[in-house]
Amino acid sequence: MSLVVALTGGSGFIGGQIARMLVAQGFNVRALSRTQSGLKKGMFWVRGSLEDTRSLAELVAGAGVVIHCAGAVRGRDAHGFRAVNVDGSRRVMEAARQSGTCERFLHMSSLAARYPELSWYSRSKFDAEQEVLRAAGTVSVAIFRPTAVYGPGDRELQPLFSWLLRGLLLRLGAGEAHLSFVHVFDLTAAVVQWVSSPEARPGTYELGDGTLGGYSWKGLASIAADIRQARVREIPVSLTLLKCIARANLALSYLLPRAPMLTTSKVNELTHHDWTCSNTAITAALGWVPQIKLRRALQDGLF
Ligand SMILES: NC(=O)c1ccc[n+]([C@@H]2O[C@H](COP(=O)([O-])OP(=O)(O)OC[C@H]3O[C@@H](n4cnc5c(N)ncnc54)[C@H](OP(=O)(O)O)[C@@H]3O)[C@@H](O)[C@H]2O)c1
């Protein structure tokens, strides 16, 4: 297999960690970027985008492995998510297949794809999986479905954990929800194990930190209370209030350059009751076992 690994999303939170880890392990990484080009940070950047098929062909030329980690995690409507996540993923797979050298393709999906009906994002992640599989031809496809990912460089969960350690937990939606998390170092280790595996390991794999049954809101509060040796105040945010904030956030976002994270569509995802996650399939396929539980990450400031 060629040692060239082509990567999309290398400028992002998860893709950036994957790129660093692959470079550290001696892989020859070629990464897509909308802003950079040339040799930087130990890898070669191809300037382009998911919309630009010429740059995608350049990205994957001669690569034996393609890791597609670019994606939209924020958006104003279903169309915006679909354009990046579904159409973009299909273009990356078509380029990979047409390269004639790609043997393995890793598609970074999300646990959200388990419930396409929940949100624009989850629908787009599910549809992207189907498109990638449809366009794959003889390329072996692994689909990773990580749950909520946190760690250095993350901006979405970081505030929740920081406030938790200051003694405040904003509880969204039903009190009895089961949440799950995975540290970006563990997710990245799984990607490197998949790349390094002598056998291609096609399949769809969920990835979490291995906590059986996930975390309840109360469980999160109790972990933080143990660490800070002081109580944590739980503040429930009702669904009605959350939806009001989401509507205001969407309206405000038209004045800002960045698409919003919190929308009424996202609220359905955030307040869903079952985000438990099973590592059984990926542990069987790769022997991957996550090393970092949330308690340790919070204790050691690994977020
Ligand atoms: N974070 C999580 O908790 C989580 C959980 C499960 C799955 N995921 C999935 O993991 C992937 C990465 O997420 P992340 O949290 O790392 O997001 P992120 O930090 O927002 O990174 C997204 C990456 O995608 C790139 N990108 C977006 N649209 C693009 C386009 N049209 N053309 C080229 N590149 C484009 C971005 O490039 P720019 O730097 O140029 O914007 C960036 O490198 C996504 O597919 C997401 O669905 C994330």
Which domains can be identified in the chain, with CATH numbers? 4-149+182-210+277-291 (3.40.50.720)
215: tokens are 């975390």
107 beta partners: 68, 143
pLDDT of 269 reads 95
Substitution site in 56, 58, 69 for ligand 1 pocket (most atoms within 8 Å of beta carbon): 69
Q: Which residues contact 133 (CB under 8 A, 6 or more apart)?
A: 141, 143
pLDDT of 286 reads 98
Q: What average pLDDT does the segment 20-48 reach? A: 97
pLDDT of 176 reads 87
Asked if the model's pLDDT at residue 174 lies above 80, the reply is no
Distance, CA of 44 to CA of 29 (rounded, Å): 6
Ligand 1 neighbours (beta carbon < 6 A)? 8-9, 11-15, 32, 34-35, 49-51, 69-73, 84, 88, 108, 110, 125, 146, 148-149
The share of the chain scoring above pLDDT 70, in percent, equals 99
Residue 141 dihedral angles phi and psi, to the nearest 5°: -115, 130
Q: Which residues contact 130 (CB under 8 A, 6 or more apart)?
A: none
The rounded Å distance from CA 73 to ligand 1 centre is 6
Over the stretch 209-232, which tens digit does the pLDDT of each residue have?
Answer: 999 999 999 999 999 999 999 999
How do the residues of the chain divide into helix, strand and coil, expressed in percent and rounded to 5?
A: 45, 20, 35
- pLDDT tier at 1, thresholds 50, 70, 90: very low
70: tokens are 């670019």
Q: What average pLDDT does the segment 85-98 reach? A: 98
pLDDT of 111 reads 98
What 3-state class would DSSP assign to 13?
A: helix
The share of the chain scoring above pLDDT 90, in percent, equals 96
The rounded Å distance from CA 74 to ligand 1 centre is 9
Average pLDDT, the chain: 96
Neighbours of 213 (CB within 10 A): 9
- pLDDT tier at 145, thresholds 50, 70, 90: very high
Distance, CA of 20 to CA of 3 (rounded, Å): 16
Q: What average pLDDT does the segment 145-162 reach? A: 97
Q: Which residues contact 203 (CB under 8 A, 6 or more apart)?
A: 142, 143, 281, 285
Asked if the model's pLDDT at residue 131 lies above 50, the reply is yes
